[in-house]
Chain A
Amino acid sequence: MALISAINPLLTAGWQTGGHEWRMEKDAGWRLKDYEARGGYKALRKIINDKLTQDDVIGEVKKSALRGRGGAGFPTGLKWGFMPKAAPVKYIVCNTDEGEPGTFKDRDLLRYDPHSVIEGMIIAGYAVGAALGYNYIHGEIYEIYQRFEEALDEARAAGYLGGNILGSGFNFDLFAHQGWGAYICGEESALLESIEGKKGQPRFKPPFPANVGLYGKPTTINNTESFAAIPFIFNIGGENYLNLGKPNNGGTKLYSVSGHVNRPGNYEVPMGTPFATLLEMAGGMRGGRKLKAVIPGGSSAPVLPAEIMMDCTMDYDSLAKAGSMLGSGAVIVMDETVCMVKALERLSYFYFEESCGQCTPCREGTGWLYRIVHRIEHGQGRADDLELLNSLTENIMGRTICALGDAAALPVRSFTKHFKSEFEYHIEHKKCLVPPDVQYEGSKIYVRPSAC
């Protein structure tokens, strides 16, 4: 804690993190009574009691400089402001289809603090004038989906959901929709198709969901962590939230740290925290080994070599400047035992497997990328393969309906750029630069000490 306090005086003044960290560490109880005991639903009550207008609520969110936590970092207040006022039917949708490799924060939010998401969605409904919402939950976390449904029942019974909420005349109901195994449904328009009971294939944009969304109606769609931040913003005030982080990068952020650290897990820190601090919080490098590379924002974000990463702070602007992105906040840490060709091969397989098949450059291109990286890894690489990979990525990027194509291309471009010599060695010598027994040791089953 001492480290964090040093970063920001507001934190020493009593505003801890967004409140998630201690809940996760101590599992402070997910039930309604536990949530209320720690100040839950106070933000909603205050908004209703003070009769805040829709513009007041959106204005406060704008002040907080909250940026969407789902990957693109779009300002949440601005997004809410896009919703047409006059439309009679509107929807709120939460994106908990967390399938970006490396990301596991939304699962913990729903597991330990489902009511913060519910309260955030109700406030969003109030702000944009929507009466119905859905939370789309990743199919693989069925037990969490069940818990969320229980939390919804609690909220309904307590009068936070349903008709005339807390006597305000405002109606809002909320339901959970389960996914069933399709990464592409994390893309917002594919997710809307999926709620409509169809294949999850992304839609052309524009029109954006704020104009034509679920069932063709204006829809606000945000990530789970974005909604969970909303009550906290109203409890401490938009400006204070902003000041927790740094300008244009307001508040705190949950980072899912995985890979070669001593304590993989979720850590919430203020925006702008040095990567070195986060690494230290996650227990440092496993076995004292040397850091080789980090993917700082989920598998779709460009990889960064250790030297560059150690100079970064964890926020949108710093990582963009370094040539990567904050993405979903999934920090994948790799040490010197990792063969970068093999690592990329696995990621490329993922995008090949998950492409929805709608756009030719992505459907065919992801297969090409995988097969070429595969042949390099397996000692059959050809002299011009790196050039071929590069031209393939150029033929994918920007030529598809959604960003999955770019997400498949960016790892290829960044791995081959920063670790070019390793790929060249593979092609020339038909084997890994990192000896197989070293790789084997480094990828053995590791369970963090406190987990058993």
Chain B
Amino acid sequence: MLSEDALKKIDREVAKYPADQKQSAVMAALVIAQDEKGWLDRETIGDVADYLGMAQIAAYEVATFYNMYDLAPVGKHKLTVCTNLPCALSGGVHAADYLKKKLGIDFNETTPDGMFTLKEGECLGACGDAPVLLVNNKRMCCFMTPEEIDKLIAECK
């Protein structure tokens, strides 16, 4: 089950929509659940659906459709690096390569200590600030030179 605190946050989302449209809050509710649990297992998705009074399968459809929901455990810090063309022209791929080497993992892998997961991202809408990466979906880091990457990794450890 989700904590009282999480449910309160979900209530705040539900209040944004017409009274008969609680399902509209499912995306935000799944984000809140993921923040609390680290990733979304079937049971958690089911709990969110029950809380919003929608079919579990409908919530599961949402969780599997959107890229930023984690349906399997990830490292403590999930790093998503954008390698799409605009970023790649200004070092997106080089930054990703630097990270792979530094962490000793490839995309979609997690370090043995469970600290870092590396993901390849699509355009984050920040192409002018390349290289860019997202930490745990919510924190955007821009202009990620090797020095900045070193700083970030040290800070996460």
Give A contacts to B, CB under 8 Å: 98-104, 106-107, 132, 134, 138-143, 175-183, 194-200, 215, 256-260, 264-266, 299, 330, 332-334, 338, 343, 346-347, 350, 353-354, 356, 442-447, 451-452
Contact = CB atoms under 8 A, between A and B. Distances in A.
A346 B85 contact: yes
A447 B84 contact: no
Given A139-B137, A258-B130, A264-B90, A178 B125 contact: no
Contacts of A447: 90, 143, 145
A256 B140 contact: no
Interface string B71-83: 0000000000001
A179 B97 CA distance: 28
| Interface size class of chain B, counting residues whose CB lies under 8 Å from the partner chain | 35 or more
B122 A183 contact: yes
Given A143-B140, A175-B16, A178-B31, A197 B67 contact: no
B121 to A, nearest CB: 8
B27 A102 contact: no
A182 B62 contact: no
A101 B89 contact: no
Contacts of B125: 98-99, 103-104, 106-107, 138, 140-141
B131 interface: yes
A350 B67 contact: no
A438 to B, nearest CB: 14
B118 interface: no
Contact of A215 (B18, B66, B129): B18
Contacts, number: 180
A334 B89 CA distance: 8
16 contacts: A103-B127, A107-B126, A141-B140, A142-B138, A143-B139, A143-B140, A178-B31, A181-B68, A197-B27, A256-B127, A257-B128, A264-B127, A264-B128, A299-B86, A332-B89, A447-B143
B25 A332 contact: no
B95 A445 contact: yes
A346 B88 contact: yes
A346 B16 contact: no
- Between B88, B90, B128, B131, the greatest number of chain A beta carbons within 10 A of the residue's beta carbon is seen for B128
A118 to B, nearest CB: 15
A265 B61 contact: no
B66 A197 contact: no
B85 A347 contact: yes
A198 B127 CA distance: 28
A107 B123 CA distance: 13
B65 A199 contact: yes
Nearest to B98: A445
A107 B134 CA distance: 15
Given A215-B18, A444-B94, A101 B127 contact: yes
Contact of A264 (B24, B26, B58, B130): B130
B124 interface: yes
A452 B54 CA distance: 48
A140 B125 CA distance: 8
A249 to B, nearest CB: 24
Given A101-B122, A258-B87, 9 more contacts: A100-B123, A140-B124, A182-B67, A215-B21, A330-B86, A332-B85, A347-B85, A350-B123, A443-B88
A138 B140 CA distance: 13
Name which of A102, A334, A343 has the most chain B CB atoms within 10 A of its CB: A102
Nearest to A264: B128
B107 interface: no
Contacts of B21: 196-197, 215
Contacts of A134: 16
Contacts of A142: 137-140
A425 B22 CA distance: 56
B112 interface: no
Please provide the 7 A-B residue pairs with the shortest distance between their CB atoms, ordered closest to farther. A445-B91, A181-B67, A197-B23, A181-B68, A175-B16, A258-B86, A142-B138
Contacts of B129: 104, 264, 451
A103 B123 CA distance: 9
B66 A180 contact: yes
Contacts of B7: none
Contacts of B90: 258-260, 264, 443, 445-447
Contacts of A299: 84-86, 123
A177 B127 CA distance: 23
Candidate in A100, A177, A200 with the most chain B CB atoms within 10 angstroms: A177
B6 interface: no
Contacts of A102: 85-86, 123, 127
B104 interface: no
